Structure 1
Amino acid sequence: MGKFDGVLLASDFDNTLLYTEEALRSGAPVPPLPERNREALEYFMARGGRFAIATGRALPAFLNYAGMVPMNAPGVVCNGAAIYDFEKGEYLETAMLDAAARERGQAALDRFPGVAVEAYHIENVIHVVRPNEISRQHEHITKAALTEAPSLPDVPLPLGKLLFEADHETLEKVLAFFTAEGWAEDYELIFSVSHLLEMTIRGASKGGMVRRLAGRLGVSMEHVYCAGDEANDLSMLRAAAEGFAPANCSDAVRASGATLVCDAREGAIAQVVEILDRRYA
């Protein structure tokens, strides 16, 4: 028996487990996983803990980095649209967008010409319509090639997520457009960073999928802990017995009541494990 038996820790990837913001902005290579985080996770798992990634990234955009992450549980990908078993190489659960999502997304593109959208196909293909500078920056940081399509209706189903890319002011107008059309209630529409607006089917969130993952693992939510830095992490931070956030987190996360730890560049997840180490002494 290990001290962390029956404990699940789920962490966001970008700017929580690994700080990628500088690479995104500068075009520099993505840094390695902080050694402090690696050692802490190996310690946690060796004593019975289960560690899972809960990322907004599509599967192909995370697979390029999966080898650097010590983990021993399936992960939440595509911002809550799926649970993926990295050991078996298969999806365990999916929550796909409805058939109307492509047409509604295209209506937003037609209304706002400066917006690009990435469409995440379940078969590990990322399509992009009207790519812009943000799309190319995102392609650099994920190392996942984008397949260009002339329009959203031309992108094949099934789709796990649409990702709208533009400046924040324009994306706020996209969100208002979905609300005015009466479509917003059918989806989860949330910012992962200021220039990325995520769209999944209603109920497909990190929090919802972490709950399902805990059930699959037989872990009580009383012993589920989550860490994240952006608004798309709030659902899992609130679902957890305790939510943690790195010091570099967004204002929305800071105001949520999450327990603040050190900056992601300093090994935020290692500090979370240290806290849990004292709690389960």
Structure 2
Amino acid sequence: MIHYQDCILVTDMDGTLLNSNSKISEKNCKAIEFFKMHGGKFAIATGRTEKSVATFFKQAKPNAPCIFYNGAVLYDWDEQKFLKMQNVKSKELIEFLEDCMEIYPTLCIRVYTPDKNYIVTGEKSLNRFVVGSTMEFIFANLSEILNKSWLKVLLAEERDILETCKAKLNKYHLEDTTNHFFSADYYFEFVDKGVSKGAMVKMMKSLNEFEGKIVFATGDFHNDIEMLQVADVGIAPANAEPEVKAVADMISVTNDNDLIHQIIYHIIPDYFNKRMKGQ
């Protein structure tokens, strides 16, 4: 017997739930509906915002709290409200951003707040990594948004420039005050110290409604590593980064081969079959 009612399935979006065309396959959609119909809890854990995923949820609506802004927010999709949020901002982070802006004129810096997404580097910084984004933004000077709540900060540029920015972290003691990571080859992000998808999955597991449930989690990039480690079963798609595969309990098919369908119809049943046999 498959105990879907005892499971939470938490999935990253880009490179995991979404295929290379940024779509949720029909097989994945049907599998998710089957999973929920049989009592399973389905959630998203993404660096995206709650506004930017709305169109996807017409196909695969979650029925458990979702993680946004790479762990800075836990969000109730049914009630459309924030359950938990943790801000990031320090004098040192602001000084670091000002330094990077001065040295790298093509660097794009986006600051995410609960209601708006700001680009603080001006129109000259609209590089190809931002132009391709579907998320709306507002131009603002850094000084104009200092009094707002920052959920995360994203730097977008070629990897070599981002690595040079990363090399400045020690100068501003940001190792001590922030959590930072690459969420793609061209995105380097900052959230508050202790914030991550993994930390928020731990918090989800502590909620009364999820007590004793088994967490299956899947993701493909560096910002998913802790989430796979804290899950009961961490699953890396075959297209995942090597560092992600190294910490996963298992490696499955790629995001272009209906990964979520594979987890729901094969990996989860195999897990319960082995438990019943005492393996």
What TM-score, normalized by structure 2, do the two folds share? 0.88
Change (3 A) 1:250 1:137: farther
The Cα shift of 1:212 comes to: 1.0
Structure 2 CA distance for partners of 1:90 and 1:16, relative to 1, 3 Å: same
- Report if the CA contact (8 A) 1:222-1:241 is conserved: no
1:133 and 2:123 matched: no
Q: Helix, strand or coil: the match of 2:216? A: strand
Query: Which segment drifts farther, 58-67 or 193-202?
Result: 58-67
1:86 aligns with 2:77: yes
Matches within 5 A, 1:189-208: 189-208=180-199
Quick one: which of 90, 104, 116 aligns to 1:112?
A: 104
Partner SS state of residue 188, structure 2 = strand
What CA distance in whole angstroms lies between the structure 2 residues aligned with 1:108 and 1:42? 45
Q: Are the aligned partners of 2:5 and 2:40 in contact in 1 as well (CA < 8 Å)?
A: yes
Largest Rg, 1 or 2 = 2
Per-residue CA shift, 1:178-217, capped at 9, x if unaligned?
Answer: 1232122211110011110011001110000111122225
User: Residue 222 of structure 2 corresponds to which residue in structure 1?
Assistant: 231
Q: Which runs of 5+ in 2 are unaligned?
A: 274-279
What residue is the counterpart of 2:276 in the other structure? none
The 5-angstrom pairing of residues 87-102 of structure 1 reads 87-100=78-91, 101-102=93-94
Q: How far apart, in 1, do the equivalents of 2:34 and 2:138 lie?
A: 40
- Cα distance in 2 between the residues matched to 1:172 and 1:127: 23
Q: d(CA) in 2 for partners of 1:104 and 1:191? A: 17
Pairing 1:148–2:139 present: yes
Is the alpha carbon distance of 1:89 and 1:70 closer, same or farther for their aligned partners in structure 2, counting shifts above 3 Å? closer
Distance of 1:261 and 1:222 partners within structure 2: 22
Aligned to 1:26: none
Secondary structure of the residue that 2:260 maps to in structure 1?
helix
Whole-Å Cα distance in 2 between the matches of residues 189 and 261 of structure 1?
27
**Residue 96 of structure 2 contacts residue 172 of structure 2 at CA under 8 Å; is this kept in 1?**
no
Aligned-CA RMSD value: 2.0
Q: Find the residue that maps to 2:13 and give its secondary structure.
A: coil
How far the C-alpha of 1:164 sits from its partner, in A, is: 0.4
1:234 and 1:178 mapped to 2: Cα distance? 21
The answer to whether the Cα contact below 8 Å between 1:248 and 1:264 also exists between their aligned partners in 2 is yes
Match of 1:121 in 2: 113
Q: Distance in 1 between matches of 2:71 and 2:128?
A: 22
Residue identity over aligned pairs, in percent, reads 25
One-letter amino acid of the structure 2 residue matched with residue 7 of structure 1: C
1:241 matched residue in structure 2: 232
Offset of 1:220 from its aligned partner?
4.6
Secondary structure of the residue that 1:118 maps to in structure 2?
Answer: strand
TM-score normalized with structure 1 length: 0.88
Indicate if the aligned counterparts of 1:4 and 1:280 stay in contact, CA closer than 8 A: no
CA distance in structure 2 between the aligned counterparts of 1:96 and 1:148, rounded to whole angstroms: 21
Q: Distance in 1 between matches of 2:119 and 2:203?
A: 30
The ranges of structure 1 where at least 4 consecutive aligned residues each deviate by more than 4 angstroms after the TM superposition are none
Listed as ranges, the matches of 1:1-281 within 5 Å are: 3-20=3-20, 23=21, 30-31=22-23, 33-100=24-91, 101-123=93-115, 125-130=116-121, 131-139=125-133, 143-150=134-141, 152-155=142-145, 156-220=147-211, 223-273=214-264, 274-281=266-273
Q: Structure 2: how far apart are the matches of 1:177 and 1:221?
A: 43
- Match of residue 27 from structure 1: none
Whole-angstrom distance in 1 between the partners of 2:103 and 2:72? 26
Q: Is the 8 A contact 2:2 2:272 kept in 1?
A: no
Q: Report how many residues are paired.
A: 267
Q: Read off the aligned partner of 2:104 and give its amino acid letter.
A: F
Identify the range of structure 1 (241-250 vs 254-263) with the bigger mean alpha-carbon deviation: 254-263
Distance 2:95 2:212 in 1: 38
Q: How many angstroms apart in 2 are the aligned matches of 1:221 and 1:95? A: 26
Instruction: Report SS of the residue matched to 2:160.
Output: helix
Using the TM superposition, give the Cα deviation of residue 258 of structure 1 relative to its aligned residue in structure 2, in angstroms: 4.2
Any conservation in 2 of the 1:244–1:260 contact (CA below 8 Å)?
yes
